[in-house]
Each structure stands twice: as structure tokens, then as C-alpha cells.
Amino acid sequence: MRLQGKSALVTGAASGFGAEIAATFAREGAKVTIMDLNAEGAERIATGIGEAASCVAGDVTEPEHIAVAVEKARIFGGGLDIVVNNAGWSYANKPLLDVSEAEFDRVFAINVKSIFHMSHAVIPVMRAGGGGVIINIGSTGGIRPRPGLAWYNASKAAVNLLSRAMALELAPDKIRVNGVAPVIGETGLLETFMGLPDTPENRAKFLATIPAGRMSTPRDVANACLYLASDEADFITGVVLEVDGGRTI
């Protein structure tokens, strides 16, 4: 029960990494609020977790929606100790000049500007509570990019560096900020990232670039977030933890 008595908010938690992070946090004793644009999916995950979870439908690009989620998490959990900015999006893998301006704007709005909105909503709450933990889900794409995802890679590079910059500024407030950078994972965005059908042959091309020989799983990412959120990591801030099987070496 490494998060006993803690309250957490996880965005984009109706599926994939976010759903597993929420379930892991609840299993370790936290009260977890799930935020997702997919209201039905968020409710399904929260119901599956049980009494330790609540859900709120919302768009992370809308500051009003984030404010509502933060307040709901604060009330449900009796405070707010942990926020995981997990919500993310990518356009389909394609040449950088084929990406539309609308796609560019959306990838930065969801992946980067959402953290701006969340910071404005949650930092005052954490300061008032004497501290907290913020975890931003970046990507190995922001460290060692793959072709066809130039603007997505740039958005995740911003998340990775932002995690370090936030940690530096918020350390005096006892707010720890860290990033988690997964390698390509077995989620609903897999074919989007590959730009190819999910076949054994196409998977093999990507697996060949990962020394450990497999993609990341939601469990891998959730366990990394659990450590960073726990008091065991109370002297860890400003790191970007690569969950990548050696991809970025």
C-alpha cells in the first residue's frame, strides 16, 4: 500500500497506460479520479476499480474541464497529492510536410498545452496542501525520434524538458515533478505510431530497434509512475525515466 491515504488524478485514463496507472494507484491505496474525453470508458474503468475510483468526463485542452476535474479529485480524495498528465494524441505516421496545421495544433494542444492548463489548476492546490507530485508522460520519441512523427516527437520533447523545468521551479514548494518516457507500446495508438498495419512482420521491424526485444506495456508504465509517485522517491525530482527496454541507449 505505497500510496495509502493519497489522492490522485490521472488524465486520459479510460484506456491504455492511463487505465493501468489508475488501477495500480488504487491497488496501492490511493483514491483515484479518472479524467477522459471518453465518458463511457472512464466510467467503465472506475467501476472496474471500485470504491477507490471516481470519474469525470472532460477535454484536457479546455481549462474549465480541467478545473472541474481537479476540484472533483480534491473532494473525492480529501485533497490532491498526485497528478499524472497522461492524456496524449498523435496523427498517423507520415512525412512532416503532410501534417496539416490542424493536426499540428491538436498534437501540441493535447500533449503540451494541457499541462499548462493543469499546472494553473493544480499547483495552487498543492501549494496550499504543502506539496505534491506531478508526473508527465512524455516519450522516447522526444529523445530518440523515429521518422514520420516529427511534430509529435517535438511535442513530447517539450513534455520531457518541461518536466525538468517545472521540477526546478517547484522544488521550494515541495512539489516534485518527473517525466516518464515510454517506448512504443501495446496501446490503441500502436498503428498510428507505426504508420503500418499491426502485423507480426511490421512489429518485428520496431522490435528490432528495442534491445530488450519487446514493446512497452501499460504495466511497465504504471509501475514507473507508482515509484515516482510514492514516498520512496521523495528525493527524486526533475528526472525523465525512460521505460524503453534500452531503446534510447
C-alpha cell at 100: 496539416
Per-residue confidence at 198, pLDDT binned at 50, 70, 90? confident
- Active-site residue 152, yes or no? yes
The one catalytic residue among 76, 91, 108, 152: 152
32 pLDDT exceeds 80? yes
Domain span at 61: 7-187+217-241
* Residue 12 · residue 87 · CB < 8 Å: yes
2 domain-assigned: no
206 domain-assigned: no
11 domain-assigned: yes
User: How many domains, the chain?
Assistant: 1
* Residue 148 · residue 102 · CB < 8 Å: no
Q: How far apart are CA 190 and CA 196, in angstroms?
A: 9
CATH of the domain at 157: 3.40.50.720
195 domain-assigned: no
- The number of beta carbons lying within 10 Å of the beta carbon of residue 10 is 37
For the segment 84-137, what is each residue's pLDDT rounded down to a tens digit?
999 999 999 999 999 999 999 999 999 999 999 999 999 999 999 999 999 999
Q: How far is CA 145 from the centre of its chain?
A: 18
- Mean residue pLDDT of the chain comes to 96
| Residue labelled with grid coordinates 530488450 | 212
187 pLDDT exceeds 80? no
248 domain-assigned: no
For residue 210, the model assigns a pLDDT of 94
For residue 39, the model assigns a pLDDT of 97
206 pLDDT exceeds 90? no
101 domain-assigned: yes
197 domain-assigned: no
198 domain-assigned: no
Maximum Cα interatomic distance, the chain, rounded to a whole number of Å: 53
Looking at residues 191-210, what average pLDDT do you find? Answer: 85
For residue 81, the model assigns a pLDDT of 98
For residue 71, the model assigns a pLDDT of 98
Q: Can you give the pTM of this predicted structure? A: 0.96
- By percentage, how much of the chain surpasses pLDDT 90? 90
